[in-house]
Amino acid sequence: MRGRTRLFVQICMTVLIVILVGHSLSQADERPRVRVIHAATGLANLDIYLNDTLFFDNIVFQYISDYAPIDPGERTLKVRPAGVSPEDQTLREISETYNSDQSYTSIVAGRVRGIEYWRLTDDNRLPGDGTSKVRIVHASISTPTTEFCLGDVCRTLAFKEDTGYFLLDPGVYRPKIRLNGIGSTSLSIPPLELKNNSVHTVFMVGQLQDQPTALGLLYTLDAGEHQIVTYPQPPVAGPPSVGKPGGPPPALPPVTGAFLSPRAIGVLIGFILVLVGSLGFFIARR
């Protein structure tokens, strides 16, 4: 009888722990997420800090990080040259509020003597079967107002503006851009594949300087029903090219406490619970 009571208590404790863990994991899934894009031409590699914690390390020009979870509330984002200690030099410092269950894209653009920063609030809710959701962001400081065309949709944007999200049919598109005052612009722009039931962003980066070929478009798959390939692709050695920055791949993020996702944590805790439950059952049977 005593063994059955002990077994009953063990089962109740295991169920209670599972409930508590599930609640904590659901809260973890609702944490804000943030990513950064280095679109500042002529600027060396960057470190991005949040509340003096290094989140994105040694990111190169044209590099877009994956999302990293952070705690909600007001956070201070600091942009520093890569490898510079916190007390030495800060290029930009911005305090912003990060809300639960929300994703953000932080953009560092401009030039060495004129760093620009702004943040986008992302809507990564899937649009539904048979549809793709996409937006275009103008992140080239020296480029005039530009008309972007994707399929039958055309939008005119100035620096730091975006189209907002719009819907298109899934498929392969060849983006077209026309620079104000320059006329037709011939760029080597790779095709963009909009996947079914997915969310995409197109960033225009680079510096014009009377050389339209210095401009480029970067594509991201922000959310998708079948999001298998993450972005960005590993950088290649050598000089930067459109969409393929040179230099060593950065560690993202090197110091956040976010290496284990809520799913991974759940699997680990589940394994521990099974182990504890089995041990308790063994003890109860003796």
Peptide bond into 253 cis (omega under 30): yes
DSSP bridge partners of 80: 47
- What pLDDT was estimated at residue 181? 74
Integer Cα distance of 48 and 55 in angstroms: 6
- pLDDT of 42 reads 80
As beta bridge partners, residue 34 has 68, 104
Helical H runs in the chain? 2-29, 262-285
* C-alpha separations of 195 from 105, 136, 168, 173 in Å: 21, 16, 10, 11
**pLDDT band with cut points at 50, 70 and 90 for residue 148:** very high
Whether omega before 232 lies within 30 degrees of 0, making that bond cis, reads yes
The sign of the CA dihedral 82, 48, 221, 158 is: negative
Q: Which of 82, 80, 42, 75 is nearest to 58 (CA)?
A: 82
d(CA 286, CA 284): 6
The residue type at 239: P
With 60 as the cut, is the pLDDT of residue 46 above it?
A: yes
Tell me what pLDDT residue 44 has. Answer: 87
Residue 67 phi/psi, 5° resolution?
-75, 140
Note the pLDDT of residue 245.
Answer: 39
Measured CA to CA in angstroms, residue 157 lies from 144, 184, 207 at distances of 9, 16, 16
1-10, 83-92, 111-120: the lowest-pLDDT one? 1-10
Give the pLDDT of residue 2: 56
| pTM for the whole structure | 0.71
**Lowest mean pLDDT segment, chosen from 20-24, 185-189, 246-250, 270-274:** 246-250
Which has more confidence, 256 or 37? 37
What pLDDT shows up at residue 142?
Answer: 83
Is residue 152 very low, low, confident or very high in pLDDT (cuts 50, 70, 90)?
very high
CA distances from 34 to 117, 122, 230, 244 (A): 14, 9, 15, 22
Q: Is 281 helix (H, G, I), strand (E, B) or coil?
A: helix
* pLDDT tops 80 at residue 107: yes
